[in-house]
Amino acid sequence: MFKKYLIPLVALAAAALPFACGGGATSGRQQTCSNSGDCKDGLLCIEQTCVQNSYPVTATAKACIPVTCEQDADCCAEFTAPDYCLEYQAQCATQGAGGFFGSDYCELAQQPNCVCKDVCTNMQCSRPETCATNFECQSLGLVRDICDVANEKCVQCLNTEDCADDEKCEANVCVGDCKIDEDCPLFNTCTAGECIETGCTSNRECILYRQRADAECVEGTASEKPSCKVPCQENAECGPLFVCEEGECAYLGCETDEECRTQLGLDDNDFVPEGQPRPRAKCLDLKALTEVPAGE
């Protein structure tokens, strides 16, 4: 009686065995998997999906930078001063510098809201922090609201008197003595009241920082502190715009300006208002970004 049911059960189990063990490697690209053995040759199981395990691209030292200007004039082409600036200019012409009752209309007429002082740096419009008076720094809305007249730049402090009672001025920045590590920037520790860069201290710290479960805290060289890295063997293990180089996920970078249009999402006509120029981007060497002159 039992033999009658035993043979079909054994046959059913035998038929199911290859699927239970994952043998056969039947899953193709973008199909589900439990491990790489489920995927066809040339594919790797990443997050339960079969994906290509390598592709012929390498990281570059360049990055995509949106282009908003080519010369200083581009940054002020559409600038319009508010009406009250015209009043300041009129009062300045009438009263001259210094003004009356503590109001210097000539100074007010030169504030950033009234006069466009933006410049083109690295193909981006920015407002320079050069100054001749504290007022110019304060009108920029910066934490650095004191003018270092000798160097013509806005700073946070010139001496300790410019800082809070528990702070001191170091390199034109107000700093306080730390008491615990949380008083310091990330990957710094508080040692004898001073924040010292120490790098990462655990894999767990790096997992939270990189938001990757496989992130690791890797020892640095003699001149470098430990840092958070994502180890890899195949490109597929890295996220979008990253490739595996020398066992670590590295930013892909770019090779051409055309690539940057796609990378930055600038290739969609629907986002370009009628009559407006198409947004542009350039592929620039990361190390040379601060050296790109306006107009180039």
Q: What is the pLDDT of residues 146-168, one digit of tens each?
A: 889 888 888 899 998 998 887 88
Give me the pLDDT at residue 293, please: 35
Range in 1-10, 11-20, 45-54, 153-162 with the lowest mean pLDDT: 11-20
Separation between Cα atoms, residue 246 and residue 269, nearest integer Å: 39
Structure confidence at residue 276 (pLDDT) = 59
Give pLDDT, residue 209. Answer: 92
Does the pLDDT value for residue 294 go beyond 60?
Answer: no
Is the pLDDT confidence value at 87 over 60? yes
Q: Judging by beta carbons within 10 Å of its beta carbon (0-12, 13-18, 19+), is residue 43 exposed, middle or buried?
A: buried
Reading the block at residue 242, the tokens are: 């990253």
CB–CB of 177/190 below 8 Å? no
CB contact at 8 A, 56 and 40: no
Give residue limits of the domains in the chain: 1-53
**How far apart, in whole angstroms, are the C-alpha atoms of residue 191 and residue 83?**
54
Can you read off the two tokens belonging to residue 221? 């060289």
Q: What is the pLDDT of residue 8?
A: 44
3-class DSSP assignment, residue 100: strand
pLDDT confidence band for 296 (50 / 70 / 90): very low
Give the pLDDT of residue 108.
Answer: 81
| 180, 200, 204, 208, 210 from 188: Cα distances, Å | 10, 8, 16, 16, 17
Residue type, 47: E
Tokens of 71: 């010369």
Q: How far apart are CA 265 and CA 240, in angstroms?
A: 14
Full-model pTM: 0.52
Q: CA 114, 149, 161 angle in degrees (round to 5)? A: 110
Mean residue pLDDT across the chain: 78
The residue with greater pLDDT, 29 or 208, is 208
Nearest to 229 by CA among 206, 198, 246, 213: 206
For the chain, what percentages of helix, strand and coil (3-state, to nearest 5) are there? 30, 25, 50
Dihedral angle of Cα 21, 24, 30, 36, to the nearest 10 degrees: 60
In degrees rounded to 5, what are phi and psi of residue 209? -70, -45
pLDDT at 226 over 90: yes
pLDDT of residue 200: 93
